[in-house]
C-alpha cells in the first residue's frame, strides 16, 4: 500500500470483522468485514446475516438485504469517499462518506428517499454507535434504526 493517498489511511480504522446489531426488537445480529483490495486503493465491505427470525418485524423479514457488498473509493480533490452499495434484493446505490475524528458519516440524496448515517467511534475504536435516518423531502428526517458495530476479537477470527 505504498504510495496510496494519505486520506485512505483513515479507512484503516474499519478494517477487520465486526458484529453488527440493529436496535430492532426481535432482530438478530449480522456480521460485516472490511478488507483492502487492489493494493489498498479500495476498501470492500461484505455483510451477511442469518434470515430474520419470525420474531423480527414483518418489514425486516420482507426486505432483508443480505448479503450486501459495498466498495469505498476516494475523491482526492475533496478527500471525500464514495460508497457503491449493492444487495441481494437487487438494490444498487451510491453514497458519499466521510470518516474523520471518530465520526463516520454516510449520505445519499435521491428523489423520495434520502438517507443519512452517523456513527461515533468509541475511544478504543472497537465500537461504533450509529443511526440511519431517512427523509422523503431531504428536510424532515426520521429515525430508520439505530445500529451498533463491535469489532470481533482477533483471537476469535
What are the residues facing 20 on neighbouring strands? 30, 149
Helical spans, DSSP H, in the chain: 58-62
pLDDT tens for 48-85 read 999 888 989 999 899 999 999 999 999 999 999 999 99
- Compute the half-sphere exposure of residue 140: CA atoms within 13 Å on the CB side of its CA: 3
- Reported confidence tier of residue 110, pLDDT bands at 50, 70, 90: very high
- Reported confidence tier of residue 1, pLDDT bands at 50, 70, 90: low
Mean pLDDT on 93-106: 97
Residue 155: pLDDT over 60: no
- The pLDDT of residue 4 is 86
d(Cα 52, Cα 105) in Å, to the nearest integer?
26
Q: 117, 107 in Cβ contact below 8 A?
A: yes
pLDDT tens for 19-51 read 999 999 888 899 999 999 999 999 999 999 998
Amino acid at each position: 500500500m505504498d504510495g496510496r493517498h494519505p486520506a485512505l489511511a483513515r479507512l484503516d480504522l474499519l478494517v477487520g470483522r465486526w458484529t453488527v446489531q440493529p436496535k430492532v426488537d426481535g432482530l438478530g445480529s449480522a456480521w460485516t468485514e472490511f478488507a483492502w483490495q487492489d493494493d489498498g486503493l479500495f476498501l470492500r465491505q461484505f455483510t451477511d446475516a442469518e434470515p430474520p427470525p419470525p420474531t423480527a418485524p414483518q418489514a425486516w423479514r420482507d426486505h432483508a438485504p443480505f448479503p450486501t457488498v459495498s466498495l469505498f473509493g476516494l475523491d482526492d480533490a475533496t478527500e471525500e469517499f464514495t460508497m457503491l452499495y449493492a444487495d441481494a434484493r437487487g438494490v444498487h446505490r451510491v453514497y458519499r462518506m466521510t470518516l474523520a475524528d471518530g465520526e463516520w458519516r454516510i449520505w445519499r440524496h435521491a428523489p423520495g428517499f434520502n438517507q443519512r448515517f452517523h456513527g461515533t467511534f468509541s475511544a478504543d475504536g472497537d465500537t461504533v454507535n450509529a443511526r440511519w435516518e431517512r427523509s422523503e423531502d431531504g428536510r424532515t428526517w426520521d429515525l430508520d434504526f439505530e445500529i451498533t458495530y463491535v469489532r470481533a476479537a482477533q483471537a476469535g477470527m
